[in-house]
Amino acid sequence: MSSLLTACGSGSSGTSAEDLATQAAATAQVAATTAASIEVAKQQVSDALSEIVTDATTAKTVSSAATTLTQKAASEASSYSEVAQSLASTQAYAAQAIEQAALAVAQQAIADQANTTVQSSQSLTEVQQAASTAQTAAATAKTARAAAEEALAQAQKALTQLESDIASALASRRYTKLDSYGNTLSANADSWACVKDNNTGLVWEEKTSDGGLRDKKWRYRHMHNYPGYGNLYDYNGVQLCAVLGTCDSYTYRDAVNSEGLCGRKGVWRLPRREELGSIAQINDGQKTPHINQSIFPETANIPDKSAYCAENMAKTAADCGYAAGTELHYTSDGRIECNYQGVDYTKQLVGTTQQLLEQSILVALRQQGEVPDGMTVGVYPNANWVCYTRLVSSQ
């Protein structure tokens, strides 16, 4: 009887081998799932860390470039209080780039800590939280890096504007803009009639774009020291000038003198070649025309076709380039009549000094016209000796 009770009791409260096996399988499945989930989390952290390292490396490069840019901007602007606003803008963008780059770099430490957690913990909750943290850090790093790159691009644009403002500030110190009555204008005036070179005291004519007498596109014959011999069109049928009945440089000079441009009447003249050379400058990259275009924006820039008329007089035969024994013709003031020359601000430079610059851009007007040099005699007797004008006054 007791054996029967024992057997019945065992059957009602015990677990069969099948149940035990099922439980073991379930436990193993949970463990396997947990282990797989942990591995997934580990991989997520690894992937996030890899992304962050790439973004952080880029961010460090951006930060370094922004720092260098800031130092360059401060150095270039140190002598120009006029560019304070553009300097501040450049520095603000650079600081933003550095700040965002630092944020991107900081995410690597967060991801490193998450990686330590998943390597040492067997808690699914902990490793999944670490993976989430790492992924958030990766997203933050990517966004910060992109923001740093954009800020650096804006800083570079601001630096370009700063350098332009510095050039304008430098020009405003050397040059003074004048209105049509000769009154001084502000350095940032949008239009002006004349420019005074504060280095030399010379006042230069500024051109127009209205198709009138002083339009920048007009050209003139420059073959004699007197007016009244030019024609209205060149050999290609292109109009040389307007308003005048004859397009030669001295007729133009007389017309401007009669107008009293910038309050100056009767004192405008053709500049000497060294005077034209005095306003030439070597631009960054030797960009043509070799002149300050913020002050002389109308300057012609057509290779080998952009000469400006120079007064064809000099003090010595050597200045004219005459060979020994050349017959000389003197004027009443003791100067010599030279071959007709001009200054072309588009010529290739042969040196980097002001003197070499002036020599580089001096041209013979027989090489500036409608036909190749050497074809003018007989076939095209007056085709060349064509130039633009930029009158000057020293009074």
Average of pLDDT values for 290-316? 89
Whether the ω angle into residue 289 lies within 30 degrees of 0, i.e. cis, is yes
Confidence grade of residue 14 (pLDDT, cut at 50, 70, 90):
low
Check if the beta carbon of residue 281 is closer than 8 Å to that of residue 288.
Answer: no
Q: Greater confidence, 45 or 34?
A: 45
CA distance 178 to 185: 5
The upper half-sphere exposure of residue 382, i.e. CA atoms within 13 Å in the direction of its Cβ, equals: 13
The mean pLDDT value of the chain amounts to: 88
pTM flag (> 0.85) = no
The mean-pLDDT minimum among 15-19, 124-128, 212-216, 327-331 falls in 327-331
pLDDT bin (cut points 50, 70, 90) of residue 8 is very low
Q: Which residues contact 261 (CB under 8 A, 6 or more apart)?
A: 180, 193, 194, 205, 214, 268
- Are 158 and 89 in contact, with CB atoms under 8 Å apart? yes
Residue type, 363: V
Instruction: Say what percent of the chain tops pLDDT 90.
Output: 54
Report d(CA 166, CA 304) in Å as an integer.
31
| CB distance 168 to 187 below 8 Å | yes
Q: Are 299 and 289 in contact (CB under 8 A)?
A: yes
Whole-angstrom distance, CA of residue 130 vs CA of residue 142: 18
- pLDDT, one tens digit per residue, over 129-156 is 989 999 999 999 999 999 999 999 999 9
Specify the higher pLDDT residue, 262 or 18: 262
* Confidence label for 12 from pLDDT (cuts 50, 70 and 90): very low
Looking up tokens 């504060």, which residue turns up? 198
What's residue 108's pLDDT?
94
Q: Are 145 and 101 in contact (CB under 8 A)?
A: yes
Beta strands in 131-197 (DSSP E): 175-178, 194-197
Rounded Cα gap, residues 114 and 164, in angstroms = 48
Per-residue pLDDT at 349 exceeds 90: no
- Tell me what pLDDT residue 10 has: 46
Q: Minimal CA–CA distance to 205: which of 143, 167, 239, 255?
A: 255
Q: What does the pLDDT read at residue 363?
A: 83
Eight-class DSSP state of 188: T
The amino acid that residue 172 corresponds to is S
Tokens linked to 109: 């430490």
d(CA 321, CA 351): 20
Q: Which residues, in sequence order, are bridge partners of residue 203?
A: 196, 393
pLDDT number for residue 183:
97
